[in-house]
């Protein structure tokens, strides 16, 4: 695990610095839209898989659900845990493994938190673990980038200055992955991290979801839950059901 890029990068303070300006209002609205669409009974147990600092978990909890948020990053979980209550808890967890003794009505995997692994077979490990934790007819919600739009609109070079740190970002697509190289200097020290996400299309998701015991019920193309358009949509949002 220590050799996998996300295990080190997501657990650094620099990751949180670079992405500190994510739109919290948009994230809250997205979760509210999903819950309205899905009709999950209040009080149900939900899992936020790869929850980061817990922004989606907190909204799900505010909407009346019993929520567990898990993430591989201990630093993220430490931050998220400050918002814990009787019906909102957080834990460090590898999404490829089943959480023993827990079951859920729905599992949420949001904001492109899939396809990070070196071995593509780990995608099936994740989905098999999720399937084993879901109640009968339970739901899996995956929010991923629309790879077609992402590749077409890829910004090759970008510079961001945040909290006195200048992040130099380079992006590229190799036909199978989108890479983001992040270089910066802080207090005289040079740093280099690389994000790598598999370029998973709808067809790829459809195949691995079917292999792991799911069927896709609906697709959406943005956080307002507009219809998915392969060439125009910003997101690929999948609602899948355990079969």
Q: What tens-digit pLDDT sequence spans the chain (243 residues)? A: 446 889 889 889 999 899 987 778 999 999 999 999 999 999 999 999 999 999 999 999 999 999 999 999 999 999 999 999 999 999 999 999 999 999 999 999 999 999 999 888 999 999 999 999 999 999 999 999 999 999 999 999 999 999 999 999 999 999 999 999 999 999 999 999 999 999 999 999 999 999 999 999 999 999 999 999 999 999 999 999 999
Q: Among residues 241, 242, 238, which one has the least CA distance to residue 220?
A: 238
Which CATH number applies to 5-145+201-242: 3.40.50.150, 3.40.50.670, 3.40.50.1820, 3.90.1300.10? 3.40.50.150
Q: Where are the domains of the chain?
A: 5-145+201-242, 150-195
Q: Among residues 74, 212, 236, 65, which one has the least CA distance to residue 150?
A: 236
Contact 48, 77 (CB under 8 A): no
d(CA 46, CA 141): 11
d(CA 188, CA 110): 35
pLDDT at residue 22, rounded to an integer = 77
pLDDT at residue 1, rounded to an integer = 46
Q: Reduce the DSSP state of residue 122 to 3 states and report it.
A: helix
How many CB atoms are closer than 10 A to CB 57? Answer: 29
């Amino acid at each position: 695990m220590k050799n996998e890029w996300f295990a080190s990068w997501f657990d650094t303070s620099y990751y949180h610095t670079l992405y500190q300006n994510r739109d919290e209002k948009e994230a809250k609205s997205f979760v509210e839209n999903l819950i309205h669409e899905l009709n999950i009974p209040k009080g149900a147990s939900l899992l936020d898989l790869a929850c980061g600092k817990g922004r989606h978990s907190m909204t799900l909890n505010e909407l009346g659900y019993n929520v567990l948020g898990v993430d591989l990053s201990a630093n993220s979980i430490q931050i998220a845990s400050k918002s814990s209550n009787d019906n909102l808890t957080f834990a460090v967890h590898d999404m490829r493994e089943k959480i023993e003794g827990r079951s859920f009505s729905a599992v949420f995997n949001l904001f492109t938190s899939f396809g990070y692994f070196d071995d593509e077979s780990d995608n099936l490990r994740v989905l098999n673990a999720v399937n084993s934790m879901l109640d009968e007819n339970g739901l899996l919600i995956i929010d991923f980038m629309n790879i077609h739009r992402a590749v077409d609109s890829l910004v090759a070079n970008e510079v961001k200055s945040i909290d006195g740190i200048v992040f130099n970002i380079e992006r590229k697509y190799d036909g199978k992955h989108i890479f983001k190289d992040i270089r910066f200097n802080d207090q005289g020290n040079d740093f280099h991290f690389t994000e790598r996400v598999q370029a998973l299309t709808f067809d790829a998701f459809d195949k691995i979801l079917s292999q792991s015991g799911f069927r896709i019920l609906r697709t959406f193309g943005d956080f307002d839950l507009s219809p998915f358009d392969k060439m125009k949509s910003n997101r690929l949002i999948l609602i899948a059901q355990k079969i």
